[in-house]
Structure 1
Amino acid sequence: MFRRRLTLVLALFALVMALAALLAAASLAVTERQVLRGRVASDIATGFIQLSAQKQRLRTWVAQTQQGAHADSGARAELLAAMQGTLQRLKGLTQQAIELDGRAEAREENLRRRETLAVLEQSVSALARAADQARALPPGSDAAQAWTELSRVFDMPQGHDVRKLIAENIARETAAVQRERAAADATLTGVRWLWLGAAAVLSASAMAAALHFGRALHRPLRQLSEGAQALQAGQLGHRIALDGQDEFAEVAHSVNALAAELERHRERESAQRQRLEEQVNARTRELADALASLRQADAQRRRLFADISHELRTPTTVIRGEAEITLRGIDKPAAEYKETLSRIVVTARQLGAVIDDLLAMARSDIDSLSLVREPVDMDELAAEALAQAGVLAARQGVRLGESPRRTGRHVVAGDPLRLRQLLGVLLDNATRYSRAGDQVDITVEAVQDLTQGPDGQDEPADLRVTVGDQGIGIPAHELPLVFDRHFRGAQARRHSPDGSGLGLSIARSLARAHGGQLQLHSSERGTRAVLTLPRIRAQDLLAPEPLTT
């Protein structure tokens, strides 16, 4: 069967690869050994050359000493140490050469190296004694005779011609280097041809196996692929016409049985799907309605929580601040306590009104707030709001301007609690988004649009309350969005991370509920919030009853 043939071929390939691995390991070991032998031979030749050069430098040092040139004794010690180190290195290399090459001629050559090194070791000892005894020549000494004696000491120590011995060894080691290099080149050439032949055999075998299995696999794989594509396209009636006893025929029979079973399941599922779709559509409509209701309820809940967190913060801060300032330090006069308690009562009333508003907002009634209208002196109300803002201003390090002058003519019809809440929002924003040392001002003035009074004189029809600061300002592209619920600009978030973006939205709603309007103007020098309210004319100040809307 096909599986057996494939297993046999794969086993043969595994065997060939194992043999190739063994051959590679053997080739690598032979090549590495040959290269190492060449390197050792080259190091030995270099060592003899270095030893000759070191001996010549020591000879020069002794000659300088005899001539009275004040040669450095440290240089002599370094030269002798270098010669001893070179001899020890040559001994080690000779021992390594013996371990790498066990041939008879190699053993004989290494024996000569050892004998030469023994002679050189004795000669170096003699040279060391001669260098230690080197002294400057007495005046009138024969320099030529001294040089001859020096040459005899360095060239023929203890009767051995060291110069000739070193020269012979350099020549012999140079020849050994050339011989080892030629042997390494021959080894590399043999390994290269060996691997080229092995690669050719493996390539031919792989190509033959690929050609055989390619022909054997083409037809069954094509039919199986066509059957799989037909099933993928939904043609469950397609059957694979593949007969025989091999593995591909077994797969074809299994796929055909699977297609028949899927075809039966499809018919049953089609009927069930239709019934389920009807049920799902009905449940989807019900869930969509329920989800819409939940989203609306969740949005109202989030909105209520956000409004509560925003609107309760300022009054509670004012109450706590008033109480802390009053209790701080020594006892104060009763009148001052009374005045503080009066401001706390006013703020508590404002807090109660805020809670009522939040409950109304929970019922989506912010646009239809219940206002108890009565004449309200905006000069007095602005002064009270400015006093309440003093606690937050002190905490922020912001300066508050003078209270508006009491004129008695800046009167509007409105709910004092709501208007105090509105001014509190504007002053809270101006103080919160100012830097330490900046100033916040509030002014009350009549608008120049005139209307005729009862005495026939023209009177301003509206009143303008302006809260100005020197703070961070609002970018021009954000001004149209500041009244949107929960909107906070990037610069505002960086300056004061806490906040919900609800204050200005509520303030505008309160302004509209009083028949007025709220506008913001901003630049790099700060922001101005302008509140415009209908002003009560002189004859209206005599109205006996407040109006409720």
Structure 2
Amino acid sequence: MRRPRFWRTYCAYAKEVGKNRMSAPENQPIPSDYFKTKRVLSLRARLGLGALLLGLAALATTALIVIGMERVSARIDASLAAEKRIERYSVLSTQVSTFIVVAAEAIQSILPIEERTARLDSITRNVTLTFSHLREDLEAAVEEARALGLDEQSRRATQSIGIARMEALFLSTRDAFLSPAADRERLQGYIDIFAIGFDPLLNSVITNEVRARNDILSGIEDLRRRLTWIAFGIATATLLLMTGFYLGLVRPQFERLNLLRDAARKIGQEDFAIALPDSQTDEIGQLFNETNRMAGALAQRKAAVDEEWTRLNATIAERTEALRAANAELARTDENRRRFFADISHELRTPLTVILMEAQLGLKVPAGADPSHVASFETIQNRALRLNRRIDDLLRIARSETGQLALSAARFDLGEVMREAAEDTSAEVRSAGMTLTCAPPAPLFVIGDPNWVRQVVTGLVQNAVRHARAGGRIDLHTGQADGMGLIHVTDNGPGIAAEDQATVFERFGQGRSGAKAEGFGIGLALAKWVVEQQGGTIAVNSPLPRADALGVAPGTKVTVGLPLDAA
């Protein structure tokens, strides 16, 4: 018998795979033309076909079991029916023997017809009923024999002839005994003929039933052997089918999946040199193609990323070098600035020291000399001291620009700082034709750096001189609120526009007034930084409510707050 095409393909393919595995070293990559087999069905169809064949094998096994059990059951039923008929023949033999004995006694006793009829009535009924049961059993046996073949059916039908002969012989004998005209010799002859003729017929029937039963039992054994061989055949075919299915389809797919696993591992290690075989167009072949395309796309992407990364590194190196050069330039600029301020400080302090010494000598009035010049020397001394503080301011500003400014935290009287700031700026206020009001404050102790707070207040007064000169008035006073000690610097100037108030504390932020920067004021940006570094606040309020204004102009009030001393 010629095997199906797919089976021949599987076997040839399995043979090729076995040769390759025997000749190739372990873990050797499978060549790209390894899977160049004839394209017949897709992988899903082939797996479905294999599963269908295995299912058919399972169905064949099930059918074999069911049919075998049905045939064995039929033969066992036939054997039991034969046993039942043999028992009925045994009963019939007993009943017939009883009939012969009773009939013989009736002949010997020369009983009248009535008594003979009475004695034989129950026996004849029993025998007749047994013959009826035997005919029914034979009819059922003939019907059951259809499953055992025509020969068995004919043989059982032949049994009915023997039963009919025995029943006819019995009925003729019974009728003779029930006949009134029968004499003793004739009845004895009927009994002898019945005894001689019935026994061979009964033995023949029983022998046939026993032979039939033995044939049935022998047939069961033969059927068992046939079913066993058929079962072995189905098991062998199933095993061969499973072996061919595994060698021809499953194992090659495992090999292909191993290739796919190795490819995935390489891709995970960023090795995109993948070339999976694309000769087949089944599901795994399509997955191979997609994997190849993915690896190619990733390789292109990696090359683009590497190129972009190279450009980025070059740009970073370029920008780093430029930043290093800029930092070096800034360092040189900062060093020059430091040296400039140090040189300015040195150059200014030397003549100031001479001026202070000369002023102190001029303040020493000899006995009997004119003291009118003392006031002039006091003015010179005060201006020299103020100029010395300006030099200190320059140095502090320089340190603050580099982030090296150090603020002290001490307990001091805020009112005293306000009075010192008023004294420092009194000459500038008078020169501007303005009036500075500084009411004597009550002691108000806060925590902070008194020197820098004085510089902040001085700078605020100087800002008022520059920007509110036309108002002519500046007011200084202290207060406290919410745990803070406050200094209010109020002027009678044009005020600050609302859109400018958000930027006045920013570095390089300037209002819209036409005033030019004069002097060495620390500026609002630095003032905000100094105050907040000490835990304080600074705020601008403009225009002022009429109750707080110093005149008809809108005016501006700057409030500096520092934490109160808890002691």
TM-score class, shorter: 0.3 to 0.5
Q: TM-score, normalised by structure 1?
A: 0.36
Q: TM-score, normalised by structure 2?
A: 0.35
Instruction: Look at both structures and tell me which one has the larger radius of gyration over its CA atoms.
Output: 2
